Amino acid sequence: MTRIYVDADACPVKAEAIRVAERHGIETFLVSNGGIRPSGHPLVREITVPGAFDAADDWIVEQVNAGDIVITADIPLASRCLEKQASVIGPTGKPFSKQNIGMALAMRDVMADLRAMGTVSGYNKSFAPADRSRFLNELERMVQQAKRASA
Residue 78 amino acid letter:
A
Residues 6+ apart with CB under 8 A from 97: 82, 88
Q: What are phi and psi of 72, to 5 degrees?
A: -160, 150
**Residues forming a β-bridge with 71:** 6, 89
The 3-state DSSP composition of the chain as helix, strand, coil percent (nearest 5) reads 45, 15, 40
Q: What is the dihedral of CA 73, 79, 85, 91, to 10 degrees?
A: 10
Average pLDDT over residues 76-84: 93
pLDDT at 103: 66
Domains of the chain: 4-150 (3.40.50)
Burial 36-56 (b: 16+ CB within 10 A, else e): beebeeebbebbebeeeebeb
Q: How far apart are CA 136 and CA 19, in angstroms?
A: 9
Output 43 or 151, whichever has higher pLDDT: 43
* Average pLDDT rounded to a whole number, residues 128-135: 92
pLDDT at 52: 76
Q: What is the pTM of this model?
A: 0.85
Residue 36 has pLDDT above 80, yes or no: no
Span of 90-99, 103-112, 135-144 with lowest mean pLDDT: 103-112
